Amino acid sequence: MGFLTNIWGFLQRAWTIAVHEPKKLMHCLKVGLALSLVSLFYYMRPLYQGVGGNAMWAVMTVVVVSEYTVGATLSKSVNRATGTFLAGALAVGVHWVATQSGEKLEPIILQASVFLLAAAATFSRFIPSIKARFDYGAMIFILTFSLVSVSGYRVQKLFKLAHDRLSTIAIGTSICILISMLVCPVWAGTELHNLIKNNMEKLSDSLDGTMCSRIFRNDVKSNNTKSEASNKILQAYKCTLNSKATEESLANFARWEPAHGGFNFGHPWKEYLKVGASLRSCAYCVEALNGSSICSDAKVPDFLKAHFSKFCRRLSASSSAVMKELAVAIRDSVIDIGEGNASSAVVTLAEMVPLVTVTSLLIEIAARTEKIAEA
């Protein structure tokens, strides 16, 4: 019974995802389509003769390279192609050296080169700047190099193998890139833009009024029915706290994408990261405030509470309004010039963060002044 309930819950969750994010459903169909297309190469005889028995490399490429966003697909394709090409060229070179140096030395040279290059490429994956952009390429480099140099000992037709692998990878990646760009494309740039915009809106919702109500908790006790919904709004900012990794990978992928929508190639994606960082530091303040409100139901005289509550509400409402305007500015920046607006938004936001902090602290002080007086 418990097992069945588990499965049922699992299916329900899957259904929720499918209904709420049709883009993801579409992505699955795209992967299926790409795989069907590439397996046609296997079924059609003339094509099959062309690329030889290595057509399975094309299948493998499609499975590995298909990613959710266009940028990720492009980045993986470029990584895969470059890694394969470099490693293939190097492996052929090493193989040539090895065959020249006699039958006894040959396996030793091959083994040593595999060991050294694999260790070096693995090490390069630990360096942050390489890890961010060429992690996959380094792995493919190790893979291709060891495959080619190991099988070169047997197959004798090294050039043919290298050529086959390159051409099948070309087939696989071009199918994937075409499908991901032409059928309902999901652009990493647009996703990043929306993520930042939504985070900003949620943060401003959390700031707006609701926060004050929570801190001056007594005020809301009268309308307890609302508190469920308002609590949800209040928690909305939490997604901003941990979005750093997502933002960085999206910005990384967005760099690979060609012009789309209102974004040009070379759109200043890094500016978005700065806006994201400002938003996060603002969310930290909200989080600190929210956590501290636990201890704030101390004995504060009512007249003081009422006085400060009015004041704070005005403050947080106005900072929320500023943030909403910024969100609108960001939304519109696509239609406008993009760069100029995004930068100015960053500047404005950087100026705004201290303001919000002050607001938060003022709210706190209102709740605590009495305590100090007692001390």
Distance CA 308, CA 301 (A): 11
Binding of a copy of itself by 29 (CB under 8 A): yes
Binding of a copy of itself by 347 (CB under 8 A): no
Residues 224-283 that bind a copy of itself (CB under 8 A): 241-242, 244-245, 281
In the complex, the smallest distance separating the C-beta of residue 133 from a copy of itself, rounded to whole angstroms, is 13
In the complex, the smallest distance separating the C-beta of residue 244 from a copy of itself, rounded to whole angstroms, is 5
Binding of a copy of itself by 20 (CB under 8 A): no
Residues 324-343 that bind a copy of itself (CB under 8 A): none
Residue 73: Cβ within 10 Å count: 27
Alpha helix (H) residue ranges in 44-186 = 45-51, 56-65, 70-100, 102-124, 128-155, 158-182
Residues 49-68 that bind a copy of itself (CB under 8 A): 56, 59-60, 63-64, 66
Buried b (16+ CB within 10 A) or exposed e, 216-235: beeebeeeeeebeebeeebe
In the complex, the smallest distance separating the C-beta of residue 293 from a copy of itself, rounded to whole angstroms, is 10
In the complex, the smallest distance separating the C-beta of residue 374 from a copy of itself, rounded to whole angstroms, is 13
In the complex, the smallest distance separating the C-beta of residue 170 from a copy of itself, rounded to whole angstroms, is 19
> Residue 12 or 222: which CB sits closer to a copy of itself?
12
Mark the segment that binds a copy of itself (CB under 8 A) among 87-95, 139-147, 172-180, 211-219: 139-147
Q: Give how far the C-alpha of residue 197 lies from the chain's centroid of Cα atoms, to the nearest Å.
A: 15
Give the count of residues interacting with a copy of itself (CB under 8 A): 75
> Residue 164 or 287: which CB sits closer to a copy of itself?
287
Binding of a copy of itself by 322 (CB under 8 A): no
In the complex, the smallest distance separating the C-beta of residue 14 from a copy of itself, rounded to whole angstroms, is 6
Residues 148-207 that bind a copy of itself (CB under 8 A): 150-151, 153-154
The answer to whether 33 touches 183, Cβ cutoff 8 Å, is yes
Distance from first CA to last CA of the chain, Å, rounded? 60
Mark the segment that binds a copy of itself (CB under 8 A) among 145-153, 173-181, 190-198, 229-237: 145-153
Number of alpha carbons in the 13 Å side-chain half-sphere of residue 99: 11
> Residue 140 or 177: which CB sits closer to a copy of itself?
140
Among 7, 8, 93, 111, binds a copy of itself (CB under 8 A): 111
- Provide the 3-class DSSP secondary structure of residue 260: strand
Distance CA 359, CA 362 (A): 5
In the complex, the smallest distance separating the C-beta of residue 55 from a copy of itself, rounded to whole angstroms, is 8
Q: In terms of C-beta distances under 8 Å and separation of at least 24 residues, what long-range contacts does 306-311 make, across chains too? A: 308/216, 308/363, 308/366, 308/367, 309/212, 309/216, 309/219, 309/366, 311/362, 311/366
**What does each C-alpha distance from 46 to 9, 40, 42, 51 come to in angstroms?**
48, 11, 9, 9
